[in-house]
Amino acid sequence: VAARRKFPQARIYSSKIDFKSAYRRLHLNHKTALQTCTQLPEDELALMSLRLTFGGAPGPFEWGVISETVCDLANAILHDNDWDPKRLRADARGLVPERKSIGEDIPIAQAKVQVVEVPVDPRGLVDVYIDDLIALTVDVGDNVERMEGAPLLAVEAIARPKHREEPLPREEMEARNKLEAEAAAEEIKTILGWRFDFHRFLISLPENKFIAWSKDIKNLIARGETHAKELEKNIGI
């Protein structure tokens, strides 16, 4: 909102990068690994995880040490005036599709006056939620190109590129299968389950989630009863 007020006629673009198999990249030390043991008495087996588990209580915090470090580095690169995104770029940068813009016939929605003054850096910002790196910027100068390149360069710097003769199989840290669908700079982007339209300034549910949520609510009302987990799911807890 503050960025639109500062640049009322400039487009706002967003990009998103996913970490590939985020939790599975962190190996547990022996003391923590022992705490993950699950016994199967009938089979006389004990299962122990050597990597961070999905659903485990410490997962978000432990992974956050890595993901937030990558996010901080992405912001440092994004705002570094000495960085040339054309000369220094990640190998995966070429996999990012061209930016997607809304037609000129649709006017850019204007922002209302805010209660507090929010500082705006036109270069933009990168934020992170667990395994999603989310970037936003204003279309001024080469800002969009910088926004598309900075998160990928930060990921590559932290993860290091794979050697041609890598001794152990290892996938790239960025989810390359999602780059084509999510990494392009767009004025409309689905972020954490919500559809953000930065051109019209609208937030809505994606159509598939709207249909599924509406169906669940109608079924719940028709039955006239529910249980705690179903209610929490529909409320959004």
Bridge partners, 22 (sequence order): none
3-state secondary structure of 14: strand
* The total number of residues written for the chain in this structure: 237
Residue 191 has pLDDT above 80, yes or no: yes
pLDDT (average), residues 163-173: 82
Q: What pLDDT, on a 0 to 100 scale, did the predictor assign at position 153?
A: 95
CA distance linking residue 46 with residue 54, whole number of Å: 19
Q: Is pLDDT above 90 for 143?
A: yes
Q: Dihedrals φ, ψ of 183, to 5°?
A: -85, -20
More confident residue, 236 or 206: 206
Residue 188 has pLDDT above 60, yes or no: yes
pLDDT digits (tens, 9 = 90+) for 35-89: 888 889 899 898 888 888 887 777 888 889 999 999 999 999 999 999 999 999 9
- pTM, rounded to two decimals: 0.84
Contact criterion met (CB below 8 Å) for 87 and 108: no
Angle at CA of residue 123, ends 125 and 77, nearest 5°: 70
Task: Please check whether residue 29 is in contact with residue 139, taking contact to mean a CB–CB distance below 8 angstroms.
Answer: no
Please determine, for residue 152, whether its predicted confidence score (pLDDT) is greater than 90. Answer: yes
- Tens of pLDDT along 35-50? 888 889 899 898 888 8
Opening angle at CA 205, ends 204 and 209, nearest 5: 175
Measured between alpha carbons, how far is 204 from 217 in angstroms, rounded to an integer? 17
